[in-house]
Structure 1
Amino acid sequence: MHVSVLALFALELSLLSTCSPTVSKLDQIKQLGVLRVATINSATTYYESGDGRTGFAYDLVSQFAESLGVALEIRVAASGAAALEAVSQQKVHLAAANLTITDNRSKNILFAPAVREVTPQLAYHIGSGKPRSLDRLKAPLRIPEESAHAELIESIASAHPKLSWETVPDVSSEDLLAQVGQGEILYTVGDSDLIAMTRRYHPKLGIAMDLGEPSRKAWAFRHHRDSSLFNEATRFLTQLRVSGELEKIEDRYFGHVDRLDFVSSRSLSQHIEERLPRFRKLFEQAGKDTGVDWRLLAAMSYQESHWNPKAVSPTGVRGLMMLTRDTARYMKVSNRTDPAQSIDGGARYFRLLLDRLPDEIPLPDRVWMALASYNMGYGHLLDVRNLTTLRNGDPNAWVDVRSNLGLLTQPKWHSQTKYGYARGKEAEVYVGNIRTYLDVLTWMTRGEDTNRDAALATPRKKAPEFMGPSPLEIDLPLL
């Protein structure tokens, strides 16, 4: 039932003013039907795209609100410090804003069990020379005001008497990292995950060194004698970690972020500008025909051939989508080096793999498994899922299946499978690279009328009509 904002506000005032002291904070939230959470806009936390709300922190708090049976209300703060202030002033129930646990913050804030660990790093502009010490910077180090990184630099500044640094108000770490990548400033400090993400779009952003030990990221609560909400959050996060679900969510956002180095990211950017325009309409048409996001198809093609229609591998696969003879025959592709035929055939074959996977594999995991099948063969993917089950993993979770791919090169394990040996680790790299390329293409086409969820469409079980023997039935790797 819809409750108006005015009615909800009246109910909250009533609870705050008239509730018996025996009504806990947790019960108040359940009666209100709303969990208010402060967060920040960041690639590692929360953001809105054409596909809706997303982000690591958003996924976690969404599940927490669902577990409480209440709606989630997101309030975006200007900074982590502002999110903490919202908690202190009781404007929100908690903050999930990629907040670092520090001694200073812990004096006034109660932190739940850490959800992630990252390493603070010194970032520099490639071309200015990689600094070997904080005492040898060519320009002042710039850091967001009232940030955990500012606390870190303050704590180590006495050991580096020549260090020059300054805090900058009203700016995020992500903004400063972009400025370094663009050469507007030379140095800043960032968390390792955010730096890895930013480097994909700013190839001249370099990592000089780690600064201190890994830092822990956690939800923040106000210190209060009523700890019912904090205790429930602790129980929820502990269960999420024990069940392995936290690891799966973390992998979804961060399991592939550090795959592009300076050279490869520059090459990708150049190819997006120079090669992709020639084939983009073909990818878009294939996407419409198959219900697969054209950017995913383009990312697959880049991994396969770097968008070179005449590419040929040592094993004889060729074309933009690197089709084998058997697969090309099955998909009615007469000329594998013809861009239109290759993209269309590869897209339809990937759709077939996506639909062939068992229904119980959820999204987006089934997409990553379909990609692994495209690389090493559907039969080998089934083998790895069986090995995953044998080793007490979840065969429907990509993070578990991925960890077992390397077993296909070990006689002890592949001798127990139906299809035998396969270069499983190559499939792991293959999928990780495509996920990275997809992220870059998504970022570079932001604002366009595209829908990334199309890549994760509900499988279509009606088999298309093809000719010849099905490559899904053979034992050897397909593509």
Structure 2
Amino acid sequence: MYWRNPLHIGLRVLLTTLLLAGLGLVVAQGFEWHSHWDRIRDRGVLTVALRESEGVYWPTDQRYSGLEMELLQKLGERLNLRVQLFSVTETQDLYRALASGAVDMALPGTTTGYNSTAFMPGLPYLMSDVGLVRSMAARKPELERQHIALLDPVNHDWLARRLASRHPGLTFEGLTGAPTAELMTRIELDELDMALMDERDFRVQRPFFPDQRFDTLTDQPRPVSPLFRQSRDRSLLNRVNDVLRELRASGQLERLRDRHLGHTGDFDYVGTLTFERHMQSRLPDFLDLFKAEAEATGMDWRLLAAVAYQESHWRARAVSPTGVKGIMMVTLTTAREMGIDNRLDPAQSIRAGSRYLDGLRERMPERITEPDRTWMALAAYNVGSGHLEDARIITESQGDDPDAWIDVRSHLPKLALKAWYPWTKHGYARGHEPVVYVANIRRYYNLLRRAFPDEIRDEREGESLDQLPFPGLPVTPGL
């Protein structure tokens, strides 16, 4: 018969094979066309879950800010997407949203775990140790008797399980997943013995909890990375990694880290306690004067107060061996330029110092943006505009960015080296001093912002996780 003809059977098999191969090619192309990245690009929106915490995503004065917040803004610009944020206060909700597919990616802002199979980490944008936070007054703890909470019950689970296996009597508290500040407050109130968290989170909060310490449990820093749902489709992950590589190569990633976490690097226990005491006893005498000059110059009164504390510890009649005087330590030349005749009068001193600083900031090249503009103006207030310009020239000659404070501060100390200062326009200067000066003011300013927050309007970029982008995927707070 016809179908028993070997030639026809062979042709039929060949046609069937070609048809299946063509269908497979179409299907494969269809899957490629509908990759995760393509779907996101078509809708023009990248949905991200973000942990609410200081330094990550937190209300500061009139807006929300943080390292991860600004990192996402950079990511959206480079991917040409609108970023839709969904914030969480408890980290379990973030992982639940990502695992369910309710968001495209997540930024918990914590170190990634060793054995997580549910999520794929992207490239790290930060490194941090992991350890235990406890009261400084407590003796070295016997973990079998301790009640411990975890900041991140998913990413830190591997370390919690290791501790539990070595110390069977250890108890993990139901506070696990609560915000950093709450955990450290519970320790302060003796309601909790310890909390397992990243050093990054501890350092952000430490100025407000000076009686607590951090004991590292990891041999080396762990990566902090964006997370994606586990899948063979890595198209979005690859795109995000490309942006992270670009930000790292351009130096922008390091500047973001410095902008949001740079003030947390050094901590002076005695100095912080002294500052808080002076904030209660001395600052009230000058508060109205700082606010009046802030109104006149458009500067933040808390920044002006931080400068004054660095200069004189808020002492109106302070006098230095070099002849500068008053609460803002104004030189005689500056006093004449600013039109004041009594540097020991706090009103006149604050007026002269504030307007001089404002003038330094205004004269900075327009291409220098905030906050670098303010940090450089402060350095000029300390060392002089000429020496700052010499340092910026050195910075540029070494291939770094003269408009970025993080680069300029690394070259300022060269103004005291014989290999450098003879070739500068303004000669020798103790270039390390403005570096320390600006770092101190940044720390005082941060403490003042915490103690005297401006009126906060809830103008967050995103929404809370009880309003997810896809219906039918609710996130219930808590475990």
Q: Which TM-score bucket, shorter chain as reference?
A: 0.7 to 0.9
CA 68–209 in structure 1, closer or farther in 2 if over 3 Å, else same: closer
Alignment partner of 1:353: what SS? Answer: helix
CA 167–407 in structure 1, closer or farther in 2 if over 3 Å, else same: farther
Aligned residues, how many? 428
8 Å CA contact 2:146–2:170 kept in 1: the answer is no
Q: Could you tell me how far 1:311 is from its partner in structure 2? A: 1.2
In structure 2, the residue matched to 1:475 is none
CA 445–119 in structure 1, closer or farther in 2 if over 3 Å, else same: same
1:119 aligns with 2:135: no
What pairs with 1:391-430 in structure 2 (closer than 5 Å)?
391-430=398-437
8 Å CA contact 1:99–1:219 kept in 2: the answer is no
What pairs with 1:195-206 in structure 2 (closer than 5 Å)?
195-206=202-213
1:444 aligns with 2:451: yes
1:299 aligns with 2:306: yes
1:72 aligns with 2:112: no
**Structure 1: unaligned runs, 5 residues or longer:** 1-18, 451-479
8 Å CA contact 1:182–1:202 kept in 2: the answer is no
CA deviation string 1:316-359 (max 9, x = no partner): 21111111111111111211111100001000000110011111
Q: Could you tell me how far 1:166 is from its partner in structure 2? A: 4.2
User: What is the CA RMSD across the aligned residues, in angstroms?
Assistant: 2.1
Q: Could you tell me how far 1:411 is from its partner in structure 2? A: 0.8
Q: Which amino acid aligns with 1:100?
A: T
8 Å CA contact 2:152–2:197 kept in 1: the answer is no
In structure 2, the residue matched to 1:257 is 264
Q: Could you tell me how far 1:413 is from its partner in structure 2? A: 1.2
CA 148–400 in structure 1, closer or farther in 2 if over 3 Å, else same: same
What pairs with 1:257-296 in structure 2 (closer than 5 Å)?
257-296=264-303
Aligned equivalents of 1:333, 1:150: Cα separation in 2? 62
In structure 2, the residue matched to 1:434 is 441
Q: Could you tell me how far 1:41 is from its partner in structure 2? A: 0.6
Q: Which amino acid aligns with 1:394?
A: D
CA deviation string 1:83-125 (max 9, x = no partner): 12211211111001213221222x1211100010011232221
CA 108–162 in structure 1, closer or farther in 2 if over 3 Å, else same: closer
Alignment partner of 2:127: what SS? Answer: strand
8 Å CA contact 2:62–2:455 kept in 1: the answer is no
8 Å CA contact 1:181–1:203 kept in 2: the answer is no
Alignment partner of 2:103: what SS? Answer: coil
**TM value normalised by structure 2:** 0.84
Q: Could you tell me how far 1:264 is from its partner in structure 2? A: 1.3
In structure 1, the residue matched to 2:359 is 352
Q: Which amino acid aligns with 2:78?
A: S
What pairs with 1:304-343 in structure 2 (closer than 5 Å)?
304-343=311-350
Q: Could you tell me how far 1:191 is from its partner in structure 2? A: 1.7
Aligned equivalents of 1:408, 1:293: Cα separation in 2? 30
After the TM superposition, which segments of 4 or more aligned residues of structure 1 sit over 6 Å from their partners?
Answer: none
Q: Could you tell me how far 1:400 is from its partner in structure 2? A: 0.5
Higher relative contact order (CA 8 A, sep 6+): 2
Aligned equivalents of 1:148, 1:173: Cα separation in 2? 15
Q: Could you tell me how far 1:142 is from its partner in structure 2? A: 3.0
8 Å CA contact 2:311–2:328 kept in 1: the answer is yes
CA 210–265 in structure 1, closer or farther in 2 if over 3 Å, else same: farther
Q: Which amino acid aligns with 1:104?
A: N
Q: Could you tell me how far 1:139 is from its partner in structure 2? A: 3.8
CA 206–226 in structure 1, closer or farther in 2 if over 3 Å, else same: closer
**Structure 2: unaligned runs, 5 residues or longer:** 1-28, 458-479
